[in-house]
A and B are shown apart, each in its own frame.
Chain A
Amino acid sequence: MSQAAILFRDVNFSADGLHILKNITGSFTEGKITTLVGPSGAGKSTLFKLCNGLRSPNSGEILIKGKPIEAYDPVELRRNVGIALQSATMVKGSVLENLELPLTLQGKKIDIDFAKELLHDVGLAGDLLERNAKDLSGGQKQKLSIARTLVNKPKVLLLDEITSSLDRVSQHDIEELIEKINEKYGTTMIWITHNLDQALRIGHFTWVMMNGELIESGDSSLLKDPKDKRVQDFVKGEIE
């Protein structure tokens, strides 16, 4: 049986007086793609920040590969649990400077051939390297953000609505890329998506979150026949 890449035990998280995550218990299976679906404000992005060590739970336990998250050095943890955010924030500078940022932070330089290969993998042309990152379109920034996260070669990849601003063809390219990385390197993928078809298409497993709670989890096919009434309403599009 596969080990849990990330395991949650009764995790609670509050901020600014709001109870954002409520008694989350569950796991993300190592080497598999798990999609995270649910209406806006369900706490999905916050859950990612907890996995990446950007926030700490108020109570409960998070185990990464069987070890409490607090036992990891934060820098090592974040290099191993990469996160690509929906905002696709760019720092001032060229595409190359943004792409090699994870290495710059370690005092290293990126190999240009590797940089071009990464851009190609995410569907960007290699000649974009010298372009100012701020001049890229929303979709191009999103792709660059994914490529940048891959530079650290993380064991777990957290993807926060990374295809929401992409056209259908680019969405398909990214889905293929994520599946390829997952198969080739056995990288555990956790993917927040609002697109239920996408969740069914690429996810091995699915978590459905609502209002800070994990309502249902299991094989992605659960989205076709959910047990919980709230999930049934969500799948029908009656809860946004």
Chain B
Amino acid sequence: MSYLTLSLTLIFVLIPLILSRTLKLGLEKDTLIATVRSIIQLLAVGYVLQYVFEVDNIIFIVLMILLMIGAATQNARKKGASIQGITWKLVVTFVFIEVLTQSILLGFQIVPPTPQYIIPISGMVIGNSMVLGILFLNRFTAEVENRQDETELILTLGGTPKQAIHTQLITSIKASTIPTIESQKTIGLVQLPGMMSGQIIAGADPVQAVQFQLLILFLLLTTAVVTSILLGYLSYPTLFNKRMQFLKLKS
């Protein structure tokens, strides 16, 4: 795509800007900021990726992944701010899911060990893990808040902290993973996934594009379930002290 053609895509930014102005929606400022940020961020990433691919050095790959984990943690921690030590819990979750998925992909030689595969796949895994983490933390903190009576009831009857929080934990894990599972049921019928569409537009064989998309879908299934479970099991013990007393969420 030439720069002239690329600049023509700004028409798609002008349409919402004009509509916002006409209907007084007040979205102009945010639309402009979003446009400028996406241009700068994506171009920067494009040049960085180009360099990393050329150098093909493990240190740069690791640095890129660490950067992604750092950004994902920073973004997700706000949603779990009421849970003690949420930052390191998120870091552990993202590192674990990255190591798990890459070990399977590279260990079974499903994808070649090159930055062209490792970095984009890591981006998808960590990005989805972050979204799942946010969904989980949102639901979990709400469940814990709303069902304090049930938690204390089970403790008073001689239940352990794990038993006292079990329902809230399971409900939150299910609620956060259901969107991923449900969206996979209709994929290809309602929408073509972004990565597959991109490959087809770029001229790839559609069947091969589908094969890669399936790989990503299955990968994201693991990412969703493992993220919620791991984050849940890392989070709930901090809601109790050594005397098995239920502690309030940090306000």
Residue ranges of A at the interface with B (Cβ–Cβ < 8 Å): 52-56, 70, 74-76, 78-79, 82-83, 85, 87, 89, 91-92, 101-102, 105-106, 148-149, 152
Other than A78-B156, A89-B152, A152-B158, give 16 A-B pairs with Cβ distance below 8 A: A53-B245, A56-B243, A70-B243, A74-B245, A75-B158, A75-B244, A78-B155, A78-B157, A79-B158, A85-B156, A91-B154, A101-B157, A102-B158, A105-B159, A149-B157, A152-B157
In the complex, are the beta carbons of B167 and A105 less than 8 A apart?
no
In the complex, are the beta carbons of B154 and A52 less than 8 A apart?
no
Contact of B153 among A56, A75, A91, A106 (CB under 8 A): A91
Residue ranges of B at the interface with A (Cβ–Cβ < 8 Å): 149-150, 152-160, 163, 167, 243-246
Could you say which residues of chain A place their CB within 8 Å of the CB of B156? 52, 54, 78, 82-83, 85
In the complex, are the beta carbons of B157 and A87 less than 8 A apart?
no
Give complex CA distance A23, B3 in Å: 78
The chain A residue with its CB closest to the CB of B243 is: A74
Contact of A89 among B149, B158, B167, B245 (CB under 8 A): B149
In the complex, are the beta carbons of B157 and A105 less than 8 A apart?
yes
Give me the 4 closest cross-chain CB pairs, A-B, nearest first: A79-B158, A74-B244, A89-B149, A105-B159
In the complex, are the beta carbons of A56 and B157 less than 8 A apart?
no
Give complex CA distance A51, B219 in Å: 50
Q: Min CB distance, B169 to chain A, in Å?
A: 14
Q: Min CB distance, A164 to chain B, in Å?
A: 17
Give complex CA distance A70, B245 in Å: 12
Contact of A101 among B152, B154, B243, B244 (CB under 8 A): B154
Given the known interface contacts A55-B245, A74-B243, the answer about A87 and B149 at a Cβ–Cβ threshold of 8 Å is: yes
Given the known interface contacts A53-B245, A55-B245, A89-B150, the answer about A102 and B167 at a Cβ–Cβ threshold of 8 Å is: no
Give complex CA distance A56, B247 in Å: 12
Give complex CA distance A204, B157 in Å: 26
In the complex, are the beta carbons of A91 and B150 less than 8 A apart?
yes
Given the known interface contacts A91-B150, A91-B153, A92-B167, the answer about A78 and B246 at a Cβ–Cβ threshold of 8 Å is: no
Could you say which residues of chain A place their CB within 8 Å of the CB of B167? 91-92
Could you say which residues of chain A place their CB within 8 Å of the CB of B246? 54
Q: Min CB distance, A47 to chain B, in Å?
A: 14
Q: Can you spell out 26 A-B residue pairs with CB atoms less than 8 angstroms apart?
A: A52-B156, A53-B245, A54-B245, A54-B246, A74-B245, A75-B160, A75-B244, A76-B158, A78-B155, A78-B156, A78-B157, A79-B157, A83-B156, A85-B156, A89-B149, A89-B150, A91-B150, A91-B154, A91-B167, A101-B154, A105-B154, A105-B159, A105-B160, A106-B158, A149-B157, A152-B158
Could you say which residues of chain B place their CB within 8 Å of the CB of A74? 243-245
In the complex, are the beta carbons of A105 and B163 less than 8 A apart?
yes
Q: Min CB distance, A51 to chain B, in Å?
A: 11
Give complex CA distance A91, B171 in Å: 14
Give complex CA distance A102, B156 in Å: 9
Q: Min CB distance, A58 to chain B, in Å?
A: 13
Could you say which residues of chain B place their CB within 8 Å of the CB of A92? 167
The chain A residue with its CB closest to the CB of B240 is: A74
Give complex CA distance A213, B70 in Å: 51
Give complex CA distance A92, B167 in Å: 10
Could you say which residues of chain B place their CB within 8 Å of the CB of A85? 153, 156
In the complex, are the beta carbons of A102 and B243 less than 8 A apart?
no
Give complex CA distance A17, B157 in Å: 28
The chain B residue with its CB closest to the CB of A78 is: B158
In the complex, are the beta carbons of B157 and A148 less than 8 A apart?
yes
Q: Min CB distance, B147 to chain A, in Å?
A: 9
In the complex, are the beta carbons of B157 and A53 less than 8 A apart?
no
Give complex CA distance A52, B245 in Å: 10
Q: Min CB distance, B239 to chain A, in Å?
A: 14
Q: Min CB distance, A68 to chain B, in Å?
A: 12
The chain B residue with its CB closest to the CB of A149 is: B157
Give complex CA distance A78, B205 in Å: 65
Could you say which residues of chain A place their CB within 8 Å of the CB of B158? 75-76, 78-79, 102, 105-106, 152
Contact of B243 among A53, A87, A152 (CB under 8 A): A53
Could you say which residues of chain B place their CB within 8 Å of the CB of A148? 157
Kindly name the residue among B154, B160, B167 whose own CB sees the greatest number of chain A CB atoms within 10 A.
B154
